[in-house]
Structure 1
Amino acid sequence: MSSEETPLTTNPEIVLRKRKNALRLREVKKLQAGERAAKRLARKNSKNQKFIRAETMIARHRASEREQYRIKRVTKYDRESIERSDKKDDDENSKLVFIMRIKGPYGARIPYKAIQILRLLRLDAVNVGTFAKYNETIRPLLRIVNPYIVIGTPSLATVRNLIQKRARVRISVSEMKTKTEKGEIEEGEEYDEARETVSVPLNDNNLIEEKLGENGIICTEDIIHEIASVGPSFKTCVKFMEPFKLEPPVNGWNAFSKLERIEYDEEMKNHRVNNSARAPLNEVDVDKFIANQI
């Protein structure tokens, strides 16, 4: 009686070869990732260990001290105004201003009080701006962060250009998923499942009507009119939009642009900050200022 041959319970040779190659590839990628991490750490340590002259350290320390003294003087001088602004908001005498953050005093550390006010104004980075009402409430705050901002009264054309070209809003991931499923996603919209919200350009009147319809605002022109006229829904419109991110005033890579960039950096380094408690705000022609950066 012939016994039946039982098949071997082994994998084919090609499967074993694929597993071996995959294992070897994983080991190679792991080594490469370790080498990249070591190089990044070495570059970071070399930057931290960069030689700094004693004169530079003293200059930075003195600049930081002067900035601390300046804030103390301004706070003491405007203390009564700050207390008065906490009690009332003079909306009747308010005017529209555009506030933009710039580089502060060269080498000085930003004091904590100034950082808090910049965060309150949503100016977390350089070349970022936002609209605001200029009245007795905000004036003392702007005087504290005066070296880090410029302000000006924008025209209607500038307000329209900013909102139409640079306005962005944040929506929830669920709303973005709905737009993606319907095929309504457009260029400039970035969808990331790892984040709770996503930033999209303000080019959808349906979104405006959904978010601001209760205030009688249903399109982009309504937002422009509300901000330009400092209407009753001004704060709602400003908070609905993200701060405007503008381009650096000098850009490009040709020789002339490089020279302009060097001159601009030298000008900012030599920028003197008035430490007087009554120093005026840095008011500029904001229309011309924004036209170079929009």
Structure 2
Amino acid sequence: MSATEQSTDKKLNSNPEILLKKRKNVDRLRIEKQQQARTRAEERLRKQNEKKASNKFIRVESIVARKLATERENERIKRVTKFDKLQFKEKLSEDTKENKEEEKERLLFIVRIKTSYMGEIPTRARKVLNILRLNKVNQGTFVRLNSKVEPLLHLINPYVVVGTPSLSTVRNLIQKRATVKVPIINEEDRTINKTEENIDKLVEGYDYKIIPLNDNNLVEEKLGEFGVICTEDIIFEIFKLGESFLECVKFLEPFTLKEPVTGWGPLSKLQRIEQKEESKKYQASSKRNAPLNEVDIDTFILDQI
């Protein structure tokens, strides 16, 4: 090929319309490849789970016990919702009589725990867990307790433990365990985050990644319009139930706590036995008028932060 022909090719390739088409095609192909990689990973995980489930032998007694537990839990949910409807009607009648009292709100930290419950979680309780973003065991989040939130907590009472945290606990959680979502900019981050371990942390197209909260510039960028510019402001807003409490809680991802017991040695086995005995104290009552499953949250999560 002569030099003149090469120069004409270069001139043709430098056409803005051709460059725009190339960029559009590259973006489209990249998104398609990402979606295909995600579907392949999900399909691989589904097949692995099906293989494990098919190889596992289930006794008839376990199937019957699971069904009975599911029925009891559904009855509990119906009883709780019926009680809440009656209470709501009574409050409306009291409000018409102008007997309103100032509602006292307080801070709660909710942790999802392992339970001996064998049945399926009812739909209403699962929706509340999804709203609170407690999709896994040992995940926790902050909540402002009031008359609107309390009925929801009674729906998930058997699956969680709640308590009022101290200022030191709030500070330790945010400084040691706080994580946030940030958009992915570099292509290297996209390839790193395409592993099966991080598949639950990614949305379609791999548009964000989850990183520890260690930069005040990120806080100021996301929450600066609400007057929150650093982690100390987040701690203050959450502990004092400030005006920007909801924005700060939404900005933070659910706190993933450590396993209370690790290892398989004799000492770990003894700790697991002690933990199993202690977990019996956290069994919640199925009555609606029973108190919430409250504990001393500071000591409960002391070794898990």
Q: Tell me the TM-score normalized by structure 2.
A: 0.71
Mark the runs of 5 or more structure 1 residues left unpaired by the alignment. Answer: 1-36, 181-190
The partner residue of 2:132 within 101, 121, 124 is 121
Q: Name 1:283's counterpart in structure 2.
A: 294
Q: Name 1:22's counterpart in structure 2.
A: none
Q: Alpha carbons of 1:43 and 1:108: their partners in 2 closer, same or farther (altered >3 Å)?
A: closer
Q: Name 1:151's counterpart in structure 2.
A: 162
Alpha-carbon distance in 2 for matches of 1:225, 1:267? 33
Q: Alpha carbons of 1:73 and 1:227: their partners in 2 closer, same or farther (altered >3 Å)?
A: same
Shift in Å at residue 62 of structure 1?
Answer: 1.0
Counterpart of 1:113 in structure 2: which amino acid? R
Q: Alpha carbons of 1:178 and 1:214: their partners in 2 closer, same or farther (altered >3 Å)?
A: farther
Q: Name 1:183's counterpart in structure 2.
A: none
**Are residue 170 (structure 1) and residue 176 (structure 2) matched?**
no
Q: Alpha carbons of 1:283 and 1:46: their partners in 2 closer, same or farther (altered >3 Å)?
A: closer
Q: Name 1:188's counterpart in structure 2.
A: none
Q: Name 1:64's counterpart in structure 2.
A: 70
Counterpart of 2:136 in structure 1: which amino acid? A
> How many residues in Structure 1 have an aligned counterpart in Structure 2?
244
**Per-residue deviation, residues 256-279 of structure 1 (Å, max 9, x unmatched):** 112322554577689755222222
**Per-residue deviation, residues 117-174 of structure 1 (Å, max 9, x unmatched):** 1001111111000001000010000001100111000000000000000000001113
CA-based RMSD of the aligned residues comes to: 3.4
Mark the runs of 5 or more structure 2 residues left unpaired by the alignment. Answer: 1-42, 96-100, 190-200
Q: Name 2:83's counterpart in structure 1.
A: 77
Equivalent pair of 1:81/1:140 in contact (CA under 8 Å): no
Q: Tell me the TM-score normalized by structure 1.
A: 0.73
Between the aligned residues of both structures, percent identity stands at 51
Q: How does 1:126-141 map to 2 (within 5 A)?
A: 126-141=137-152
Q: Name 1:251's counterpart in structure 2.
A: 262
Larger Rg: 1 or 2? 1
Counterpart of 1:198 in structure 2: which amino acid? K
Q: Alpha carbons of 1:100 and 1:75: their partners in 2 closer, same or farther (altered >3 Å)?
A: same
Alpha-carbon distance in 2 for matches of 1:91, 1:122? 29
Q: Alpha carbons of 1:94 and 1:46: their partners in 2 closer, same or farther (altered >3 Å)?
A: closer
Q: Name 1:47's counterpart in structure 2.
A: 53
Equivalent pair of 1:168/1:201 in contact (CA under 8 Å): yes
